[in-house]
A and B are shown apart, each in its own frame.
Chain A
Amino acid sequence: KNEVEQSPQNLTAQEGEFITINCSYSVGISALHWLQQHPGGGIVSLFMLSSGKKKHGRLIATINIQEKHSSLHITASHPRDSAVYICAVRRHSGGGADGLTFGKGTHLIIQP
C-alpha cells in the first residue's frame, strides 16, 4: 500500500463544475504539498499546508491532520485547469530532509 493515496486517478468534468481531489496518507507528516504538472513535465507548487485551509484564486486546499486527509478543490473549473494534480507529503524527519513522498497523481481534464 502506498503511503500517499489519491483519488480519483482520472477525472473528466465540464467547464464550470466544482472539482474535488482527495489525498490520504499513512505516515506522520510535517507538511503536505499540492502540485500541478502539465504535459511536458513542469511542476508548479500550488499549496503547502500543515493545518487548516488555504485559498488562492479559484483553488482551495484543506487538511485534516487527525484524519490524515487533504482535499484540493477547484471552483468554476476551466479547460486551462487540465493537468495532473499531485499530492506530496514531507515526513517528520529527525534529519530535517525536505524530500517528499508523492502520490501517483490525479489526471484532470476539463472539457469546454
Chain B
Amino acid sequence: ETGVTQSPTHLIKTRGQQVTLRCSSQSGHNTVSWYQQALGQGPQFIFQYYREEENGRGNFPPRFSGLQFPNYSSELNVNALELDDSALYLCASSLRGNVLTFGAGSRLTVL
C-alpha cells in the first residue's frame, strides 16, 4: 500500500509567478484535500476534491485552484504569487469521511 506522495518537496518562486504542486493519493482513496501551513501555525483548509469535483473550499481566493484526475491524483495551482503564500502545502487523501493520510508536504518560498 503506497502512501501519499507530494512533489516538489521544496521550491522557490518570485512574486507574481505561478506554481503547480502535485499529490498522488494513497491507493483506494477517492478524496483529496489541500492545506496551507504557515510557519508556526496550524494548517488551514484550502479545498477538497471528491471524484474529480471540488466539494468544499476554505477561505482562500480564486487564484488558488485545483484539479483531481481520474486516478485521484491532484494538483494545486496558485497564480499571481504573493509573499504571504510562502508556506508548507499539505495534501491528504482519504476514503470519504474516513481517516486522512497526509503527504510530507511541499515547502514553497516566495521571494
Query: Residue B98 contacts which of A4, A48, A88, A100 (CB distance < 8 angstroms)?
Result: A48
**Bound Cα distance A102, B100 (Å):** 13
Please, which residue of chain B has its CB at the minimum distance from the CB of A40?
B104
**Bound Cα distance A43, B47 (Å):** 18
B42 touches A103 (CB 8 A): yes
Between B37, B101, B107, the greatest number of chain A beta carbons within 10 A of the residue's beta carbon is seen for B37
Please, which residue of chain B has its CB at the minimum distance from the CB of A100?
B45
In this assembly, does A112 line the interface, its C-beta being within 8 Å of a C-beta of chain B? no
What is the interface size of chain A, counting residues whose CB is below 8 A from a CB of the partner?
A: 25
**Bound Cα distance A55, B88 (Å):** 30
- Give A79-112 as 1s and 0s: 1 = Cβ < 8 Å from B's Cβ atoms: 0000000101000010111111111110000000
A99 touches B58 (CB 8 A): yes
**Bound Cα distance A74, B58 (Å):** 32
A98 touches B102 (CB 8 A): no
**Bound Cα distance A85, B41 (Å):** 12
In this assembly, does A42 line the interface, its C-beta being within 8 Å of a C-beta of chain B? yes
**Bound Cα distance A104, B41 (Å):** 6
A residues at B contact (CB < 8 Å): 4, 31, 33, 35, 40-45, 48, 86, 88, 93, 95-105
